[in-house]
Structure 1
Amino acid sequence: MTDQEAAGLARHDLLRVDPEAWAACLAVRRDLDNVPHLADWARVGWPVIVRRRDHGESSDGIPVGLPLPPSAGKRRIGFTLSPAAVSRHPPVTLEQARETAPPAWRPSLEALLALGSEHGSVPRVFGSLLWQALTDLPYLGPGSDLDLLWLATGRVDRPFLQSLARIEAGATMRIDGDILLPDGTGINWRELLDAPADGTILCKARESLTLRPAGHFLSEASS
């Protein structure tokens, strides 16, 4: 990956890591010696996920991370990798991950897929469902949330958010996640729905957190 391509990455993008570069990275992280699954992570083709850069963290490289399953301590591990060490991994859609989900989730998943089709937005997964679908390790448990990314091409229709809330009200799990704006900024769908017309909402970008007017993100017809 070139530096220019790396500059265009957004939070939640998935990246493959060159196995030799991964081994070199682990070699200088003695705190990760003998941590389950890490040694073979890149070799078996499992990706890492782009995260927000921590305060005070070096601006060199791409900030990435991965979570371990609960059986390995549910630890979140961060790295900074060179653009030359990584390549893009395709996102995982809800449709692709649906068979990994618990059976009790299936009716809600069908409703979510129908909602996405109606509004022209293909939901992507992150969180526990993503990692279990990618690795086949046991990330999902009785209290797991369903974390989704909904790609927006412009302003968001309030009826879409209201429909999403109705689906969650009848679901057996919490449905969390973000509306992903064209520039890669994420805004929590529930916070956007609940924000007052003159209120602000937290916008999460790869390099920053900002508060912006909530009304800026809702279509005029839904305000």
Structure 2
Amino acid sequence: MHWHALRSDAPLQRHQLVRLKPASWSELLHARSDLAGEALLQGWADCGWPLIARRPLPGEAGGYALGLPLPPAAGKRRIAVNARHEDIDAVSSLPYLQETIHSAPAAWASSMDRLTMLAARHAIEARVFGSLAWQWLTGLTYLSPGSDLDVIWTLPPPGHIAPLLAELAEIETLAPMRLDGELIRADGSGVNWRELYAGSKELALKTPVDVQLCSYEAFVA
């Protein structure tokens, strides 16, 4: 993974990973009495573990909206914080699918190889989020027997979308896990691949700030 500094005028994209400075993280925790009992959070930044950019909560304004999920052993609680630009040490994208294969169950390997080749055939990126991404990023146990494989695909040219979705659905029929995820436009807005494959007339478009309905044509335009 490539980490880099965030420009002071740059917004964060959905799913972008963010490392906070340890001193800033400690300051954030001390200001939040509701997080005092979460022992795993105390050394989070010291370990170099990131947070992830999220949509702002209602009434939340200013700063950078970030979050992280605790692993199942720690209750799976979702932690939401708001950071300043000066708190951010570095940012990065989600890990590529092929980077995370060795952190996944062995039974997933064949399906993940097929998905990697699918991305290569369509000249798009396949990046992992969800439980597998957090397990790969932290080394903590996030995956359980019922976990999904969550993948973000960059949006291919319009003529490639239908074949990509058909191949993705075919791969899932043989996969030992459920395949979830989104196709993402260059602006960071995305739609669940299942909605696209089902041919839904109205799609739930997830943007950096909200969720709105849009047509297929509007999404791929």
Task: Bin the TM-score by the shorter chain.
Answer: over 0.9
Give the SS at the match of 1:4.
coil
The answer to which of 87-96 and 26-35 deviates more is 87-96
TM, length-normalised to structure 1: 0.92
* Identity over aligned pairs, percent: 40
Whether the aligned pair in 2 keeps the contact of 1:200 and 1:214 (CA below 8 Å) is: yes
Whether the aligned pair in 2 keeps the contact of 1:157 and 1:218 (CA below 8 Å) is: no
Equivalent in the alignment of 2:96:
93
Equivalent in the alignment of 2:172:
168
How many residue pairs are counted as aligned between the two chains?
214
What is the CA-CA distance between 1:34 and the residue it aligns to? 2.8
Note the residue ranges of structure 2 that are not aligned, 5 or more in a row. 1-5
Equivalent in the alignment of 2:48:
45
The aligned runs of 1:18-167 (5 Å cut-off) are 18-57=21-60, 59-86=61-88, 87-152=90-155, 154-155=157-158, 157-167=161-171
Whether the aligned pair in 2 keeps the contact of 1:10 and 1:205 (CA below 8 Å) is: no
What is the CA-CA distance between 1:36 and the residue it aligns to? 2.9
- Per-residue CA deviation, residues 36-57 of structure 1 (Å, 9 max, x unaligned), is 3101101110000001111222
Equivalent in the alignment of 1:201:
203
**CA 1:154–1:80 in 2, change beyond 3 Å: closer, same or farther?**
farther
Whether the aligned pair in 1 keeps the contact of 2:72 and 2:142 (CA below 8 Å) is: yes
Whether the aligned pair in 2 keeps the contact of 1:63 and 1:79 (CA below 8 Å) is: yes
CA distance in 1, matches of 2:87, 2:62: 13
Letter in 2 for 1:193: Y
What is the CA-CA distance between 1:129 and the residue it aligns to? 0.2
- Per-residue CA deviation, residues 72-104 of structure 1 (Å, 9 max, x unaligned), is 001111001112211213421111111000011
CA distance in 2, matches of 1:113, 1:81: 34
What is the CA-CA distance between 1:153 and the residue it aligns to? 5.2
- Per-residue CA deviation, residues 136-188 of structure 1 (Å, 9 max, x unaligned), is 10100100000000012543520101100111111110100111101000110
CA RMSD of aligned residues (A): 1.4
- Per-residue CA deviation, residues 99-130 of structure 1 (Å, 9 max, x unaligned), is 00001111100110010010011210000000
Equivalent in the alignment of 1:4:
9
Letter in 1 for 2:165: L
TM, length-normalised to structure 2: 0.92
CA distance in 1, matches of 2:92, 2:161: 30
| Deviant stretches of 4+, over 2 Å | 153-156, 215-219
CA distance in 1, matches of 2:214, 2:93: 30
Give the SS at the match of 1:203.
strand
Q: Is the aligned partner of 1:181 residue 2:182?
A: no
Letter in 2 for 1:19: P
CA distance in 1, matches of 2:210, 2:142: 28
